[in-house]
């Protein structure tokens, strides 16, 4: 793995996601099983999987076994991410905000001119879709038997100070005034039962999405967020 990738991700805005089983036991007795559980349960809803399963193995992309975990990494265009799954079922994920790396995306030069690193946070793609994918993946891991005794979920959005919510879709109405936060980072932590995760992953995601938006002074009704979640979950995003 390129040891500098996490350092690069942390240079700009990024998500840090950590799932920790409430009872520490070995859930997978081989590293191959660690790899398989991520590959089988990776969420593919909008053209890029969550977490991403690399298709090649080199300095910028790949997967590899280690002592008691398997890890994967990707450094391509504006996709910067790193994940690690432990034999215990613990999952750790770093994912750079895509809007902060648009200058490395050759397909969106005009957007890159407008959206500068550290300035924006996409309402739909980087919050609603991102958090919904996070809980969808968590639900799949729980269904696979990793969190039978429950799981502690820690999610943080880092380097948010003075960042402004951005409506990515030009067909949608923009905010009447800037929705910004002065918080350096936004951190959330909650413990869930297996049943809560499997039966209400969309609802749990909806609740967290609203908490994130509240930090920016934006308080839409839950039903409005749910409409975008349903578009994603139906595969029409």
Q: What is the pLDDT of residues 42-57, one digit of tens each?
A: 999 999 999 999 999 9
Q: Which residues, 6+ apart, have CB-to-CB distance to 176 below 8 Å?
A: none
pLDDT of 2 > 70? The answer is no
Show me where the domains of the chain are located.
5-233
Tell me how far apart the alpha carbons of residues 129 and 9 are, in angstroms, rounded to a whole number. Answer: 20
pLDDT, mean of residues 154-183: 96
The answer to whether 14 and 159 have CB atoms below 8 angstroms apart is: yes
- Residue 105: name the closest of 93, 119, 117 by CA: 117
Q: What is the pLDDT of residue 108?
A: 80
Cα angle for residues 83, 230, 112 (degrees, 5° grid): 55
SS3 of 118, please?
coil
pLDDT, mean of residues 183-191: 98
pLDDT, mean of residues 118-137: 98
pTM: 0.97
């Amino acid at each position: 793995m390129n040891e500098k990738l996490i350092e690069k991700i942390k240079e700009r805005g990024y998500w840090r996601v950590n799932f920790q089983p409430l009872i520490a036991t070995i859930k997978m007795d081989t590293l191959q099983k660690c790899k398989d559980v991520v590959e089988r349960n990776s969420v593919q809803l909008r053209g890029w999987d969550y977490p991403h399963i690399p298709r090649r193995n080199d300095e910028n992309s790949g997967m590899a076994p280690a002592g008691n975990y398997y890890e994967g990494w990707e450094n391509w265009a504006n996709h910067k991410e790193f994940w690690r799954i432990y034999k215990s079922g613990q999952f750790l994920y770093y994912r750079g905000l895509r809007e902060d790396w648009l200058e490395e995306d050759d397909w969106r030069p005009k957007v890159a001119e407008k959206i500068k690193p550290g300035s924006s946070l996409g309402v739909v793609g980087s919050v609603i879709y991102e958090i919904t994918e996070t809980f969808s993946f968590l639900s799949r891991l729980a269904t696979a038997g990793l969190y039978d005794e429950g799981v502690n979920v820690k999610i943080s959005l880092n380097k948010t100070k003075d960042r402004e919510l951005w409506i990515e879709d030009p067909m949608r109405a923009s905010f009447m005034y800037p929705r910004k936060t002065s918080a350096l980072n936004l951190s959330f932590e909650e413990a869930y039962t297996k049943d809560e995760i499997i039966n209400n992953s969309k609802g749990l995601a909806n609740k967290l999405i609203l908490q994130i938006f509240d930090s920016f002074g934006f308080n839409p009704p839950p039903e409005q967020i749910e409409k975008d979640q349903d578009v994603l979950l139906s595969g029409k995003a």
